[in-house]
Structure 1
Amino acid sequence: MSINHHFSKLTKEDPSEESTDMKPPVVVVGSGLAGLSSAYTLLLRNVPVVLLEKGEKFGGNSMKASSGINGMHTETQKLKGIEDSFEVFYNDTINSAKHVGDKDLQRVLVNDSTKAIDWLKTSIGVPLNVVNRLGGHSQTRTHRSEGVPPGFEIISKLLAKVKEQPGVELHNGAKLTGLDIVDNKVKGVKYLNVTSGEESTIKTSNVVIATGGFGYSKELLSKYTPHYVDFPTTNDKNTQGEGQVILENAGGELIDMEYVQIHPTGFIKKDDPQSNWKFLAAESLRGIGGILLNAKFDRFVNELDTRDAVSKAILAQEGKKAYLVLSDDMYKDFKFQIDFYKKMNLIEETTLSEKFGDDSAKVIELLREYSNGSEDQFGRKFKQHVFPDVSPDTTLYIGEVTPVVHFTMGGVKIDINGEVLNKDGVPIEGLYAAGEVSGGVHGKNRLGGNSLLECVVFGTRAGEQIAEKYKL
């Protein structure tokens, strides 16, 4: 894994010997959607890339995204007669964020969403021909393809595109350990081969850090949000926040680190209920019509409120958990994902009477009331599917859920092109960040579907800006 040797002709010790047409590769750290978006943008513009991934596999947490990616004014929306606007999407984003965050970044996120969806469809080959509505949204705008989990599809196809390009080197088992910054300019990247223990440096003048959040790090959670340290998490063990720490050590300013998103629905696995790691119960399950019941089989919240509000409501229930209840129509709409949950023993297919026994009559009345089509007592208006003709023999799909640490809104401060800002608000020349490692985009609470969008928008923007410098 000797990257320095391979690129030695591009990284000469003496700058005076360097040819004007021989520039060092851009180093992209992290192979989730943000990193791959940057890498592919650069490669298409004939900029050489070294992609470093700490884990054994490429794809990061993006690979597990299960609901989709937001976009407005898209072809899919138009075909389905859905009218959306910048103002409505932007207001949903900042309302979810509790009016905290960098408004310039939030405007760019929303404004570039049409371009992001089109890029995935036309350049990467992801159909994104289905749209759902998630919690906190005033319109239906969360895109996925039919019959396949969105994170897996997007990462698989984008990674294949990256691998096809000349001028790329991909290395897993390569852990970022430091950055060489001189006079506020990037000079190199330090990394560790986690298998051999060998430490190396890649000389470069441009780096994109896309290492994700810190939702698995007990150390950082204890430092910034100690009240969440004992919560279970949906994050992979590699989500340790090294990027944030290293960027701060390099002179970057960390912001919003105290804002950690608790997702309301992590599955409680029957055979391992105390596990600290939980499968995420996709927000789309509630978006397609799923409801939440407490231990007494009562509804207690608008299931499509923002994530923080639904989490707070579940935490107030007995056992800090709830039943997620789905109808057969909902199952058919999200069959590919629910079949996986059933296989993993996270959702059971049952009848109403088998599940609720003596309380069946109470639940039947509740489901009929929910299905009457009008706005209910909790303020829920959007119901893509309901529970038609409910009876004791009605088939239901039910899982137990509890709130989990899911996303960390804080990270390094960036400008609208992803360039990292130092503590004086000045860009560190050649240093970029995209995705969950950056802060300011989501404020106090991220809107569902905006994570994948953030990765594409700021990942491609960073790649485009670096590529422009390579033309000079």
Structure 2
Amino acid sequence: MTKSEFLCADIDDLKNTYDFIVIGSGLTGMTAAIQAKELGLDVIILEKLSNLGGNSMRASTGMNAVETLTQLNHHVVDSQESFYCDTLVGGKGSNDRTLLSYFVRHTESAIEWLAHHNIELDDITSTGGMSKKRAHRPSNASAIGSYLVKGLQKQIIARKIPLFNQTKVLSLLKTDGNVSGVAIEHPKGGKKLIKSKAVLIASGGFAHNYEMIAKLAPNLLNLPTTNHPGAMGDGIKLATSVGAKLIDMDKIQVHPTARQEAGHVYLIGEGLRGAGAILINHKGQRFVNEMSTRDTVTKAINDLHQDGVALVFDQEIRNAFKAVEFYDAMHLILSGNTLDELAEKLNVSSISFSETIRIWNNAQKSSKDVMFGRQTAMERGITKPPYYAIHIKPAIHYTMGGIKINSLTEVLDDKGEPIPGLFAAGEVTGGLHGDNRMGGNSIAETVVFGRQAGQQAAKLILKL
């Protein structure tokens, strides 16, 4: 029996009525379901795919949060105001400021909530565009996505929350203007109607839907995507069918570091640069502040007009970012016992490459990157063999646009009024990130707004 089979309920056990229906089994959906269950609701999770976890399973770096004990334990003094400003600058000032304000004020309690559920994030690293170390992760530096998904799945089992996979939501039901359930289809159970008092859409974005991308950002059609095949925007279609407003739909993020290999696209997590890796061009030279925002790094790569670039690191950096072990298992990494050996494999000048590493190591030691102004993720140089490199290119990664919500996660219509009984959270929504999402914010968003959705559903139904 597989892990998914163990987690998933038998379709014959599906009831006709629940208090709260959650669409999507990623971090947002599981968080909301657990929070709502703890507050007394009868909850169900519906997942259209066989596999669970959605894009959450692919996240590798960390979960941004501020004013936490983890930060203090690592001698990082931070503030909500600084976090707010960094995110606003990264989003080019177009973020929904009400959502952003709620977000930055609730990341600390999100970390505490996870810890209360035996999910400890007691290490931190850096992400691009952040002025402080804020990306929380487990102490073994393992990939944040799978770590959180597995931790929350244990809570789903412990609380006996029914989770039905291979269950596609066909439409939302409405009664007297209120969303009152869903119509579903299951390969064995057929089509059914399930009534509820509230529904949460937590089904993720649309970065695998090239028909939508063609209409919204046709300039990106030549790029592959890091997203799983289920990221088709189904939740957005469900919401608009009952009058929901959409926002920022043309804002689609390209991640600068993805590896394409044998028809697969692998996200090379920002945490590798956060641990100290650098980027070099075909001349063996750095060309950008690697810890700039994703849009800035992507533009710098594109402006080279060459076939991708190389991400370079050493054994110490590898030890600090455990996702590298997965990259190695997938045969994505070049290695050399010396810089000259790695330069030869990269087909770059060994003289230029060695000089680049020398200059970078001096900058790292002095904490002064005169060439490109990098100020974060400089704790490690590139000094300990073996030396490694991964050939990378930009790829479509995240959709900043989606369903318009307020800070209560209520779905809003074209008049800005809540659609009664309908909530949404996570990547399926829009507004929080503005023009450009900052690395580490999406994972934090799933917990912060997932909890909020569970709380608000309970408040609606139980009159708390």
Q: CA deviation at 1:183?
A: 3.9
CA distance in 2, matches of 1:43, 1:73: 28
List aligned pairs for 1:277-296, cutoff 5 A: 277-296=264-283
Hey, what does 1:339 align to over in structure 2? 325
Does 2:420 correspond to 1:420? Answer: no
Q: CA deviation at 1:5?
A: 7.5
Hey, what does 1:356 align to over in structure 2? 343
List aligned pairs for 1:239-254, cutoff 5 A: 239-254=231-246
Q: CA deviation at 1:101?
A: 2.2
Equivalent of 1:449, from 397, 422, 440?
Answer: 440
Residues 5 and 318 (structure 1 numbering): CA distance in 2 closer, same or farther, change over 3 Å? closer
CA distance in 1, matches of 2:211, 2:339: 44
Question: Match of 1:319, as an amino acid?
Answer: Q
Residues 322 and 162 (structure 1 numbering): CA distance in 2 closer, same or farther, change over 3 Å? same
Does 2:369 correspond to 1:384? Answer: no
Does 2:420 correspond to 1:429? Answer: yes
Q: CA deviation at 1:184?
A: 3.0
CA distance in 1, matches of 2:461, 2:189: 33
In structure 2, the residue corresponding to 1:386 is in which secondary structure? coil
Residues 188 and 4 (structure 1 numbering): CA distance in 2 closer, same or farther, change over 3 Å? farther
Q: CA deviation at 1:249?
A: 1.4
Hey, what does 2:162 align to over in structure 1? 169
Q: CA deviation at 1:268?
A: 3.0
Hey, what does 2:456 align to over in structure 1? 465
Q: CA deviation at 1:320?
A: 4.1
Q: CA deviation at 1:286?
A: 0.6
1:283-324 CA-partner distances (Å, limit 9, x unpaired):
011111110011111111100000000001111224341100
CA distance in 2, matches of 1:201, 1:62: 28
Hey, what does 2:302 align to over in structure 1? 315
Comparing 178-187 with 126-135, which one deviates more in the overlay? 178-187
List aligned pairs for 1:106-145, cutoff 5 A: 106-122=100-116, 124-145=117-138
Q: CA deviation at 1:130?
A: 1.1
1:438-463 CA-partner distances (Å, limit 9, x unpaired):
01110110010000111111111010
CA distance in 2, matches of 1:217, 1:232: 11
CA distance in 2, matches of 1:223, 1:291: 35
Question: Match of 2:77, as an amino acid?
Answer: E
Hey, what does 2:15 align to over in structure 1? 7
List aligned pairs for 1:43-54, cutoff 5 A: 43-54=37-48
CA distance in 1, matches of 2:189, 2:332: 39
List aligned pairs for 1:363-382, cutoff 5 A: 363-372=353-362, 373=366, 374-382=368-376
In structure 1, the residue corresponding to 2:359 is in which secondary structure? helix
Q: CA deviation at 1:352?
A: 1.4
Hey, what does 1:15 align to over in structure 2? none
User: Would the aligned equivalents of 1:4 and 1:201 in 2 still touch at CA under 8 Å?
Assistant: no
1:164-205 CA-partner distances (Å, limit 9, x unpaired):
114x32100011211112443112211221x24822211112
Equivalent of 2:151, from 150, 157, 172?
Answer: 157
Hey, what does 1:30 align to over in structure 2? 24
Question: Match of 2:179, as an amino acid?
Answer: V
Q: CA deviation at 1:219?
A: 1.0
User: Would the aligned equivalents of 2:11 and 2:188 in 1 still touch at CA under 8 Å?
Assistant: no
CA distance in 2, matches of 1:64, 1:252: 29
CA distance in 1, matches of 2:351, 2:13: 72
CA distance in 2, matches of 1:325, 1:296: 13
List aligned pairs for 1:66-85, cutoff 5 A: 66-85=60-79
Q: CA deviation at 1:2?
A: 8.4
Hey, what does 2:5 align to over in structure 1? none
1:328-386 CA-partner distances (Å, limit 9, x unpaired):
2101212x211111110111222311121472222111111111131231111221211
Question: Match of 1:109, as an amino acid?
Answer: F
Say how many residue pairs are matched: 445
Hey, what does 2:194 align to over in structure 1? 202
User: Would the aligned equivalents of 1:287 and 1:384 in 2 still touch at CA under 8 Å?
Assistant: no
Equivalent of 1:403, from 394, 402, 408?
Answer: 394
In structure 2, the residue corresponding to 1:25 is in which secondary structure? strand
User: Would the aligned equivalents of 2:252 and 2:401 in 1 still touch at CA under 8 Å?
Assistant: yes
Q: CA deviation at 1:469?
A: 2.5
In structure 1, the residue corresponding to 2:349 is in which secondary structure? helix
1:53-94 CA-partner distances (Å, limit 9, x unpaired):
011122111011100100001111111110001111001111
In structure 1, the residue corresponding to 2:354 is in which secondary structure? helix
TM-score norm. by structure 2 comes to 0.93
Structure 2 spans left out of the alignment, 5+ residues? 1-8
Does 2:214 correspond to 1:222? Answer: yes
Q: CA deviation at 1:243?
A: 0.6
User: Would the aligned equivalents of 1:255 and 1:439 in 2 still touch at CA under 8 Å?
Assistant: yes
Comparing 208-217 with 378-387, which one deviates more in the overlay? 378-387
CA distance in 2, matches of 1:3, 1:333: 43
Comparing 280-289 with 222-231, which one deviates more in the overlay? 222-231
Residues 131 and 6 (structure 1 numbering): CA distance in 2 closer, same or farther, change over 3 Å? closer
Structure 1 spans left out of the alignment, 5+ residues? 12-23
Residues 468 and 320 (structure 1 numbering): CA distance in 2 closer, same or farther, change over 3 Å? same
In structure 2, the residue corresponding to 1:230 is in which secondary structure? coil
Q: CA deviation at 1:226?
A: 1.1
User: Would the aligned equivalents of 1:3 and 1:202 in 2 still touch at CA under 8 Å?
Assistant: no
CA RMSD of aligned residues (A): 1.7
In structure 1, the residue corresponding to 2:450 is in which secondary structure? helix
1:12-65 CA-partner distances (Å, limit 9, x unpaired):
xxxxxxxxxxxx321000000000010000111121111100111221110111
Provide the identity percentage: 37
